[in-house]
A and B are shown apart, each in its own frame.
Chain A
Amino acid sequence: MRLLLLMFAFCLTLPAHAELRYTLQPRQIADDVWLLEGSTDNFDKANGGNIVNTGFIVTAAGVVVIDSGPSRRYGEAMRAAIASVTDRPVIKLLLTHHHPDHVLGNQAFADVPIAALAGTTELLREQGNAMAENMYRLVGDWMRGTEVVLPSETLAPGTLEIGGRSLRLLALRGHTGADLAILDERSGVLFAGDILFYQRALTTPNSPGLDVWLEDLDTLEALPWKRLVAGHGPVADDAAPFVQMRDYLGWLDGLLRDAASGGADMNEVIQSPIPERFAGISLTRYELIRSVSHLYPRYEAMALQRVDE
């Protein structure tokens, strides 16, 4: 009987051996500016972690890539996708921040400089392996062979002149403490990294505070952008992503503040109603549960006083 059950279990596992292949379709969003748009879902064995927007800009000197995706396999698929639209070589990879869905494709770009803010490199050094392990748990075999590769160049805020193109680099903090946004001055395309989420609930694992994040939104919105590429979610040509982000961050901040001043426990806060106006945003409940874990202790500390004697 036991043997038969084993055989039966083996049959059940067979479909998992199907080939894992990312279908990355580069979409031109401005002259020489390309986007690889991921879904707004969560990490899953069905999507291989392709829930992220990456991009690249074709300059006279070669291709500048923005983020490398969630796995080695994604990075390799990205190289192939780039080669399908241009013969120019990849000359540089820019990382917006250290989160796994943006940097774990780095191995596929080990032949070019990988550049990031100093804080991003530091965070990736501290947290990279643990994040990669968790990605194996979440998306499984898609991650096979993936290892953390640290950046080889440090970026400072300012203008990066490359291949006749001016890329304005902004060092922000709201999402992880070290967040790079990139404005391509010629096209007006703003790669906002995860300072912008659009139609997808924002994530807060390393956020220094929602107030910091709100200030970053002001900084970004004041730039001369024409087209917005959020780290997650669809491209926009108007300020809708900024409006949604401010609304959502304001709601989250108020919810946590009110809960703490009312003496709520974490398990009560994660069950809070989510306003109807956010119904179109994916993963709000899931991210509320995570954000309560990340942020609620700070709000609690503000609502409690020293009582020891």
Chain B
Amino acid sequence: MSVRVLLLLMVFHAPSALAAEADPLQSVMWEYHHKGLLNSEPYVFDERVKVQVPPFAEDSRQVPVHIDARALGDEVVRIEAWADPNPIPRIFTFTPGEQVVPLVAIRIRVEQATPIRAAVLTRDGVWHIGSAKVDAAGGGCTAPSVVRAQPGWEDRLGEVIGGRFARGDFSRLRLQVSHPMDNGLVGGIPEFFLNQAELRDADGQVLAELELYPAVAENPSLSLEVKGAQDTRLWLRDNNGNEFEAAL
């Protein structure tokens, strides 16, 4: 059979391989995560959900991910983020509330080249999926802890540096928390990570909830945006029950 015939055969077979709502990144893990993380609920790949990552991970232990669903406006209920083939795929679950913008910047660990997904649930019950792909040498999830190699890290546990930056009618809150975020994949070190955060107003009312998973990088770095210039507090808890608070 000639090469030309083979090429033709491949072309004719391609459409059947891309059946249903085609994943633009053609990840073999898409259906698995659709079922496991989104309960097989209705979804649409939607370019209005912007996921920004570098084209390649210079440091697989600290890969910046920027997720922006502002184009879906007040319809946003919740955002799920994950990295398809990671040993720990989930990154965060974000419930922004009325006063908080559906935008999150965070740094994560990747074990290999991977699609990064943001699934944004809107009030009508549909998940809007944004994707981006990052190339990587990998190994970020199983690399030895950088934090634990620094003497005195226990004394700095829960220290937060942060700042507030004007963004038109909004304020961007940026912060970094000192925490090893042990994911249980490095020998002899059990899971020890920040798993819960709340952004609260001055009266303690919850403005936004954020669940974190240990795909998040060591010393987590986080950016959020709130409406107006109101005082906010960030409350954090790790899976050992340590609680931390910061004022922004």
Point out residues on A near B: beta carbons under 8 Å.
Answer: 1, 4-5, 8, 11, 133-134, 137, 205, 262-263, 265-268, 270, 289-290, 292-294, 297, 300-301, 303-309
Contact = CB atoms under 8 A, between A and B. Distances in A.
B55 interface: yes
A267 B62 CA distance: 12
A13 to B, nearest CB: 14
B175 interface: yes
A306 B105 contact: no
A18 B198 CA distance: 58
B245 interface: yes
Contact of A4 (B6, B137, B167, B248): B6
B162 A307 contact: yes
A289 B161 CA distance: 24
A8 B3 contact: yes
A294 B57 CA distance: 11
Q: For A205, A266, A300, which residue has the most chain B Cβ atoms within 10 angstroms?
A: A266
A307 B160 contact: yes
B64 A267 contact: yes
A5 B3 CA distance: 10
B137 A267 contact: no
13 contacts: A4-B9, A8-B6, A263-B223, A265-B105, A265-B174, A268-B66, A301-B161, A303-B163, A304-B161, A307-B175, A307-B246, A307-B247, A309-B245
B244 interface: yes
A305 B161 contact: yes
A267 B176 contact: no
A304 B54 contact: no
A65 B68 CA distance: 53
A309 B247 contact: yes
A134 B10 CA distance: 33
Nearest to A268: B66
B54 A293 contact: yes
Given A304-B162, A307-B248, 7 more contacts: A4-B9, A262-B165, A267-B52, A301-B161, A304-B163, A304-B175, A305-B162
B47 interface: no
A289 B58 contact: yes
B186 to A, nearest CB: 16
A266 B52 CA distance: 10
Contacts of B66: 265-268
A133 B64 CA distance: 23
A58 B45 CA distance: 64
Interface in B45-71: 52-56, 58-59, 62, 64-66
Contacts of B248: 307
B163 A11 contact: no
Interface in B197-218: none
A308 B58 contact: no
A306 B159 contact: yes
B11 interface: no
A205 to B, nearest CB: 8
* Residue among A267, A293, A309 with most chain B CB within 10 A: A267
Contacts of B62: 293, 297
Contacts of B105: 265-267
Contacts of B161: 301, 304-307
A40 B15 CA distance: 42
A287 B62 CA distance: 17
B139 to A, nearest CB: 9
A191 B244 CA distance: 52
A308 B1 contact: no
A267 B54 contact: yes
Nearest to B13: A1
A193 B247 CA distance: 47
Contacts of A293: 54, 58-59, 62, 64
A203 to B, nearest CB: 10
A205 B59 CA distance: 10
Contact of A308 (B7, B52, B158): B158
Contact of A137 (B1, B137, B164, B246): B137
B172 interface: yes
A4 B161 CA distance: 59
A11 B7 CA distance: 12
A290 B9 CA distance: 42
B3 A263 contact: no
Nearest to A134: B137
A306 B105 CA distance: 20
A304 B164 CA distance: 9
Contact of A304 (B9, B58, B176, B247): B176
Nearest to B167: A263
A307 B174 CA distance: 11
Interface in B135-176: 137, 158-165, 167, 172, 174-176
